[in-house]
A and B are shown apart, each in its own frame.
Chain A
Amino acid sequence: MQLTGVRHWRPLASLKRRDLLLGIGTTAFLAGSGIGVEALLADPGSGAPPAAFLETSRFVTGSALSDEAAIARAWSQLVALDAGFPQAVGRLNAAVHGAGLRNMAEYMASPLAKDADLFKTATTIVSAFYLGYTGTFVDHSVKDDTGFVTFAGALMWRPTIDATVIPTYSRGGTDFWIDPPEGTPTPKGAASVSQWQGSTPASHSPQKA
């Protein structure tokens, strides 16, 4: 299973990949069973997302995207928010195929990236899978048009997964946060003081859980 987008940094062994990257397990399972994700999603008449949505979503996010429940949630909400969304996805999909683009780096460098409508569609899909929700958040209100897509599977966590937590999960034990993530360059200038001045002796030694 290859994860596009994850580069030289490595996930900490203490974090369960299943917890962090929703969908990997599902895809592995499907691969093992010989059933393709697309086959599962393409259930005509069920309101399930068309293959074009899955394909376009994978293209714009540069990700394997295999959590079918999350994909189905994203699709149904994006359609609910904008009745023209299926057509917009179709146009983006056709344009990408038509231009023979292989990945988002090529898309961003191509004239297609200047087409505002296509770019908006790409951005809407990226937003849903990166942030893990659709719609627009309204602060200090119980009502808005947001819809849940995924939490731990949100792609925005991926680029820093070696360094920071996905909130509600943990890593490293009490006081792990004293040290910077591995590989952080040593800063020039004034040195850091890692202990609180004037602490009681007990508080000078990190308490391990």
Chain B
Amino acid sequence: MALISEGRFIEDAWRRLADEEALPRSGKVIVSLARLEHAVAHLEAGVALGVLAPNTTEPEALAAALPRLSLISIVFPAFADGRGFSLARLIRRAGFTGELRASGRLLADQYRHALGCGFDTIEIPDDLAERQDESQWQAERAAHARTYQRGFVAPGSILEARRKAAAK
């Protein structure tokens, strides 16, 4: 798997923990949604906790664990399945400020959709990363200077720009 952050491929500091693996004493681990409650109760305080959430997850299912979570990784079963974008918005609305990751066969062309919905990082399979090199992710990140929607990408809203222009 390849991880993209701010338009660059970076090393992944997180490790996916299989359900049968013992909880580690250190590091950063991603557990399944099924194991989340157990991990919150038993994981040592120094270990960073992440969860892998299907795109059909109800935000309420994460609510209790939210203060303990440092990462939520939302699964995109197919790049054309946009449910993960709405789930990301709901998770941000619930107050989550940790790393929000999109995991699946996402395309560079969807980078701004992901950023606009509150994702920080994108995790894609290696074969896809070979076809979509860093330059494509960076280009897509830079290509959308303006959007009509106001979201999580701070600059760039056309409405804000119009307002500023009108105030001058």
* Chain A partners chain B: no
